[in-house]
């Protein structure tokens, strides 16, 4: 069996689900535009430059989940999928996932974005396995805190190894392993798979991929 790993934001999606979730909440009047829009944009720029303070960002990102009942969050998320996400799921992304599905590969979305936001998106792509940053829940409601290690930078590798260990597997048990990503933040995981693929990469990843002779592809329509 082969293993195909996909980053989500700006890789399978033609955009960033994290950034767009905050923008969606602002547009719905859930978050104050003046207080949140500039911070959201700053965190996004820090992410793209590789300087993101993941813990400060998660405090910002997860706090709104703790301020509303799960039923309301789920209703907002359905609207978010309709108005923001489905239009970011390109034909090329769907075709890439389908190619790996037809090959019988084990597929996973592995993303730094929290699993509340990303689990429905992974399901929309028809991918059952997800590693995302886990928001803490108590009695089905979010606390605003994180459970475990954020799946960011080296944390993606740690979380993937733990997931495989729980299955009684390691990367070496697969005939081939693939990881598709756009981001310099994913270099730790790109370096440990058999087939790293740079997807519409940022400048740093593009330069690294060109030097390492990794494939560079685009999933934009």
Q: Measured between alpha carbons, how far is 3 from 175 in angstroms, rounded to an integer?
A: 8
Bridge partners of 13, per DSSP, are: 89
Residue whose entry in the numeric block shows the structure tokens 């084990």 = 106
Q: Report how far residue 4's alpha carbon sits from residue 99's, in angstroms, rounded to the nearest whole number.
A: 10
Of 9, 18, 105, 182, which is the active-site residue? 9
How far apart, in whole angstroms, are the C-alpha atoms of residue 107 and residue 94? 13
> Half-sphere exposure (CA, 13 Å, Cβ side) for 122?
22
Of the residues 7, 16, 105, 202, only one is catalytic, namely: 7
Distances, alpha carbon 110 to alpha carbons 4, 68, 69, in Å: 10, 26, 26
Q: Are 114 and 147 in contact, with CB atoms under 8 Å apart? A: no
Annotated catalytic, 9? yes
**What is the phi/psi pair of residue 78, to 5°?**
-60, -40
Q: Which 3 state secondary structure label does DSSP give 112?
A: strand
Cα separation, 26 vs 188, whole angstroms: 33
Contact between 3 and 12 (Cβ < 8 Å): no
139 noted as active-site residue: no
Catalytic residue numbers read: 7, 9
């Amino acid at each position: 069996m082969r293993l195909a790993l996909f980053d989500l934001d700006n890789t399978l999606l033609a955009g960033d689900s994290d950034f767009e979730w905050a923008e969606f909440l602002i547009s719905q009047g859930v978050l104050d535009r003046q207080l949140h829009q500039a911070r959201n944009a700053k965190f996004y720029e820090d992410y793209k430059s590789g300087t993101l303070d993941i813990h400060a960002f998660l405090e910002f990102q997860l706090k709104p989940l703790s301020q509303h009942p799960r039923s309301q969050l789920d209703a907002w998320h359905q609207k978010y999928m309709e108005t923001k996400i489905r239009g970011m799921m390109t034909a090329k992304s769907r075709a890439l996932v389908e190619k790996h599905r037809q090959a019988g590969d084990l597929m996973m979305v592995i993303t730094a974005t929290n699993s509340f936001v990303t689990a429905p998106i992974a399901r929309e792509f028809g991918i059952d396995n997800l590693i995302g940053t886990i928001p803490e829940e108590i009695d089905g409601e979010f606390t605003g805190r994180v459970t475990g290690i954020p799946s960011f930078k080296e944390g993606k590798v740690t979380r993937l190894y733990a997931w495989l260990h729980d299955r009684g597997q390691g990367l070496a048990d697969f005939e081939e392993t693939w990881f598709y990503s756009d981001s310099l933040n994913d270099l730790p995981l790109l370096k440990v798979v058999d087939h790293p693929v740079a997807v519409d990469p940022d400048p740093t990843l593009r330069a690294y991929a060109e030097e390492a002779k990794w494939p560079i592809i685009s999933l934009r329509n």
